[in-house]
Amino acid sequence: MSLRRLGVILAHEGRLIRRDPFPILVLIVFPIIDMAFLKAAFRAALVQAGHPHANGAEQVVPGQAAMMAFFVVSLVVFAFFSEFTWGTWDRLRASPASSIEIVLGKALPRVAMVLAQFVVVFLAGIVVFDLHIRGSVIALIPLVAAFSVCLVLLGVAVTAFCRTAQQAGSFASAGMVLFGAIGGALVPISVLPDWARAVAPAVPTYWVMRGFRSVILDGEGLGSVVAPVMVLGAMTVLFALVALRRLRFDETKIAWI
Amino acid sequence: MQDTSRNLRRSVVRSDPAVVLAIRGLHKSYADTVALAGIDLEVSAGTVLGLLGPNGAGKTTLVSIVAGLRRPDAGTVHVGGIDVVRTPQRARGLIGFAPQDTGVYTPLSVRNNLRFFAGLAGMRRAEQAERIDEIANALGLEALLDWRAAELSGGERRRLHTAIALLHRPALVLLDEPTTGADVRTRSQILQLVRRLADEGSAIVYSTHYLHEIEELDAFVTFVDAGRIVATGSTAELVRQYGASALELTFVHDVPAVARIEGAHVDGSMVRIPAADPAITAAEILPRLGTHAADLRSIEVVRPSLESVFLTVTGRRFGAQTLEPVG
């Protein structure tokens, strides 16, 4: 792998992202709008779950950020499918860039987008919605980083599996709501039915929300996010293996955008 | 590690240094369809190879394999002595490729499209800027460098598409039907630049079904038909060896029996009659038509050309359906 070539692809992806910043706005603005509506509704649920001082922001800020972060799966999918729309995929493959440089070049900027989203949404949560992080803020860094990388690799795996942009887009849209609901991002996990709580550990959102709860509500530190980070890391490896096994660079994707 | 270096050494073949592209025994099939049935080909530095053939002849498959986009079923491809099949990434640095369909980043400017591929090819910033100006001038894109590719006309976009392939002065340029859908000006500019690049030492594979472009480029010609090379040589050699004059008569309805003389080929309402001197043949055949002369739509004299070469070696008109032989 050539770092210089990877740098060229990263700069190029950066230019493409800057040409259309609307998805970044969606990532950042939508959760903030949702927070304004939903904060009060979650206060009672958190109090009932044993957090008498909670004001609702402890659920709605990380929950909406984690749920909307799933949107990055779509962004990764479209980063690949757009190459077919522009007719540039074969050009890129025939260039000296290797497969791993192309995948990293598309993945890393989207990881950065999710990280930026969490920073801005949490800052808005603290300043506007009175979010108090009772535990270690430092503990949130590996948690958010592991979740971001996990979602982006899920996007690569979805790209590998789907032959049309419609398939990939449908999965990404439905997945955002489904993973958000089951994982305890849309509503606190304590209000979910038993069956949902049983399957929740299968989705990445559950683990990031578990980490958020332990740091934000229970006031714990780095030790409390080790398990969520490890599981998110294992899921990332799984998605990477699926992508490696299934992603065929000579496959023609059908893009309808 | 040792294995890797041995593999790399094995993937580099030193033969005639002037030979940039060497293809041996190339086969490729898609399910039951044979796309390439044993292609052997060499292209030297400073040469334009016109890869000619009707649609479906196997040209795009051949170019795609050389570009490292498809794997052959059998055979070898070496570019600059590097095995494309075994170490495609190493070979890609030597190749400039323009696929058949236009491929440019429409949200980005012309300059940023060129800059991206120049960067991937390993060009430094100063070199990039100089070369981008140079190629933009050659293809009439200099005033459009800061325009988004989405704002370009079809012809301008086609020029940008071709410029990307030629930007880094690759040892081997693969152009797959580069003038398809291009206007007259674009076609002329692309042909001039291709000729200039060959004069500067690049080997160029120019796949097309426009015979006159190959004649204009004075290219070395390889005719491909049904996955095989059916004729190869310089334009002059091929025309001398296989080119034949002919007289083409086209009728309003079917070709009458009286015009179906021995050696002629019939294609629907047209008959092509091989003729050493078409004027004499016309003088002989026209009186024989009798009342059928009223059904004549046109008479055309075909001079020896690449088109007549293709007809001689395949028995079919270039780009036409199979002809029905007579006699």
Average pLDDT per consecutive 10 residues, chain A (257 residues; last block may be shorter): 93 93 87 87 84 88 93 90 90 90 94 95 93 93 96 92 82 85 86 89 94 93 94 95 78 58
CB of B232 within 8 Å of a chain A CB? The answer is: no
Which of B97, B104, B107 is the closest to A94 by Cβ?
Answer: B97
Determine the distance in angstroms separating the CA of B321 from the nearest CA of chain A, rounded to an integer.
29
Q: Which pTM value belongs to this model?
A: 0.81
Test A87 with B104 for CB contact under 8 angstroms.
yes
**Is B69's Cβ below 8 Å from some Cβ in A?**
yes
> Do residue A86 and residue B164 have CB atoms under 8 angstroms apart?
no
- Determine, for residues A12 and B116 on separate chains, whether the beta-carbon distance falls below 8 Å: yes
**Tokens 């009798």 belong to which residue?**
B290
Q: Are strands B82-83 and B74-79 parallel, antiparallel or unpaired?
A: antiparallel
pLDDT in tens, B86-131: 888 888 989 999 998 899 999 999 999 999 999 999 999 889 999 9
Q: Which two tokens stand for residue A9?
A: 């692809």
CA angle B283, B288, B293 (to 5 degrees): 90
Do B78 and B84 form a contact (C-beta atoms < 8 A)?
Answer: yes
Q: Indicate whether this complex's ipTM tops 0.90.
A: no
Counting one residue from chain A and one from chain B, the pairs whose CB atoms sit within 8 A come to: 68
Scanning every residue of chain B, which has its alpha carbon at the shortest distance from the alpha carbon of A101?
Answer: B120
Matching residue, tokens 């609702």: A56
Q: How far is B60 from chain A (nearest CA, A)?
A: 12
Using a CB–CB cutoff of 8 Å, tell me whether B300 touches chain A: no
Residue among B207, B214, B211 at smallest CA distance from B310: B211
Residue B265 is classified by DSSP as E
Highest average pLDDT, of A12-16, A185-189, B181-185, B220-224, comes from A12-16
Side chain identity at B132, as an amino acid letter? I
Q: Based on C-alpha coordinates, what's the Rg of chain A?
A: 19
Q: What is the pLDDT of residue A53?
A: 86
* A64 within 8 A of A38, measured Cβ to Cβ: yes
Please state, in angstroms and rounded to a whole number, the distance separating the CA atoms of residues B184 and B178: 13
Identity of the residue in A4, A87, A93 whose CB atom sits nearest the CB atom of B69: A93
C-alpha dihedral sign at A242, A248, A254, A257: positive
DSSP notation for A205-245? HHHHHHHHIIIIIS---GGGGHHHHHHHHHHHHHHHHHHHH
* CB proximity A25 to B under 8 Å: no
Q: Which residues in A lie closer than 8 A to residue B102 (C-beta atoms)?
A: 87
Using a 10 angstrom Cβ sphere, with 0-12 exposed, 13-18 middle and 19 or more buried, the burial of residue B310 is buried
